[in-house]
Amino acid sequence: MKGTRVPMITRLTAMLFLLSGISSAGMVDYFTDNGYGNPVAVIQHPCAEYYNRVTYIAYQGPHEDPYVCAYDHAAKKWSGPVQAGENPMGKTPDPVDPKGPDNHGRPAMIVDGNGYIHLVFGGHGGYFRLGKNTLGAAGNGKQTHVVSKNPQDISAWEVLDNISPFGTYSQFVKMDDGDIYLFYRHGSHQSDWVYQKSTDNCRTFSPPVSVLKHKTQQSDPNIHDAWYAWFENGKGDTITASYVYHLCRTNGHTRERYNGYYMKMNCGDESWENAGGNKLVLPVTKEYADQNTLVCDTYTAKEKSNHGTCRVDDDGNPHLFFRRQGQVHYFRWLGNAWQKPVAVPGGDGDMIVESPKVVRMLLTGGGEVCWWRTTDGGLTWAKGSCLISSPDSTYTASTLVRNAHPDGRMVVNENNPAQNHLYRKLYLLGDSGPIGRPEEEASNLGDRLKDLESVQPASKPGKPVKKGRNKLGEEIDSDE
């Protein structure tokens, strides 16, 4: 349990396993140690869902392949990891250089109305040989859809070839009526953001529909308007979209991202509107977004901004944050305007909106994953309990587990700078901290670390990065 500093968790874990007849001496706080690269992230979501007493978790494992674990809350028992598919961007052997993995092919996961588990993974725009991408630029990999062969069973999987291969940043949104939407960027940077809709539990999908438009700026052909977006359930039959602008330079590409935007979809007629209720015309361009969906302008001050998450209150009003300079900047819609932003210390995370003025955010930062709470609509924030902390490591967050059980709110991976490899421990954090697991079950690396001894050491400033080869024998690089 190295790195975890939550005494109450240790006591609770010991008590639970003494009662079940299992010695706590062999318990660890992580549920697996074979997460690889950046195993989870907020932008590919959800990566976990609580369904019928079980939390199912998908993450990026060895060779960037998708893996799945499950925790039965009633039986207090873990199962997995099980490999659910093959990511064509994975390299052999696994690189130890942080710039080696592509990471864009992390899995998103959803459980359909019949209990089948679906993963979409493996894409960073799609290889050129897959054909012509009419909605963007080709890149690497192939967006792939797999489903469990049996309901609520992670042991066996099959491919469903029913979505566009030109995708990355896959995001599932499941509606109350059972309809499931798959949102993603239809290619590499210079591509539209789109959705495909399923009304039959992901067995078939409608063709892609463009939501955010990519295009070259007329005033500067070297600059391409692009986006990073996050989609989620709104109130009732609606879906929210929060996004930032990516100033994509064709020559001399950088990670320049600015501003913050919001709009929502009415699923009944698939129309879109801004926070004020004004109807929008899709796909949205940069100029149109600036006029109709802008939440905050950071471009004027040349202050970079990145996407966060968005949740709604019982009135349907959005609460959202964007990330800037090591903080999250929180906004809420007041009915006629956006409340002025308030900065909260934190790297990334997600939020629970309890009422229009009471919000909790679960955020990473400073070697901790802690709650922050406001009771005055975001004007002031108080730091609450920490679910995990370490003096040696930092943590990367997923979004909140869909329909989360209180014992399993969020999945995080541990980042230890002292490691000379890229394997990560993964934790399922609940209100009492991590859910423990017997060490012999949580240790899944086997001989992998020994196999990496001959691989190049982590890169240093000025040192070229070895590209490596994917499973098709092609040299590829990454740009995440």
DSSP assignment, residue 268?
Answer: T
Residue 278 vs residue 453, higher pLDDT = 278
Arithmetic mean of pLDDT, 424-441: 97
pLDDT for the residue 450: 80
pLDDT for the residue 446: 87
pLDDT for the residue 474: 32
The two structure tokens encoding residue 49: 């869902």
User: Is the link from the previous residue into 345 a cis peptide, with omega within 30 of 0?
Assistant: no
Residue 451 vs residue 262, higher pLDDT = 262
Q: Is the pLDDT of residue 315 over 80?
A: yes
What percent of the chain has a predicted confidence (pLDDT) above 70? Answer: 89
What percent of the chain has a predicted confidence (pLDDT) above 90? Answer: 86
Q: Is the pLDDT of residue 468 over 70?
A: no
How confident is residue 456, by pLDDT bands cut at 50, 70 and 90? low
291 - beta bridge partners?
Answer: none
Q: Please tell me the CATH code under which domain 7-11+44-49+78-93+101-391 is placed.
A: 2.120.10
User: Could you read off the pLDDT of 265-289 as tens digits, one per residue?
Assistant: 999 999 999 999 999 999 999 999 9
Listed in sequence order, the residues at least 6 apart from 336 whose beta carbon sits closer than 8 Å to its beta carbon are 276
Tell me how far apart the alpha carbons of residues 398 and 457 are, in angstroms, rounded to a whole number. 28
Residue 405 vs residue 451, higher pLDDT = 405
User: Could you read off the pLDDT of 4-50 as tens digits, one per residue?
Assistant: 444 333 334 444 443 333 445 599 999 999 999 999 999 999 999 99
DSSP assignment, residue 305?
Answer: -
User: Could you read off the pLDDT of 73-123 as tens digits, one per residue?
Assistant: 999 999 999 999 999 999 988 999 999 999 999 999 999 999 999 999 999
pLDDT for the residue 24: 55
The residue type at 334: L
Arithmetic mean of pLDDT, 447-467: 57
How confident is residue 324, by pLDDT bands cut at 50, 70 and 90? very high
Cβ atoms of 141 and 166 within 8 Å: the answer is no
How confident is residue 449, by pLDDT bands cut at 50, 70 and 90? confident
- Whole-structure pTM value: 0.91
3-state helix, strand and coil shares in percent for the chain, rounded to the nearest 5? 10, 45, 45
**Residue 32: helix, strand or coil by DSSP?**
strand
Instruction: Enumerate the domain spans of the chain.
Output: 7-11+44-49+78-93+101-391
Arithmetic mean of pLDDT, 346-352: 96
36 - beta bridge partners?
Answer: 423
Cβ atoms of 348 and 361 within 8 Å: the answer is no
Give the active site residues: 104, 169
Tell me how far apart the alpha carbons of residues 94 and 81 are, in angstroms, rounded to a whole number. 18
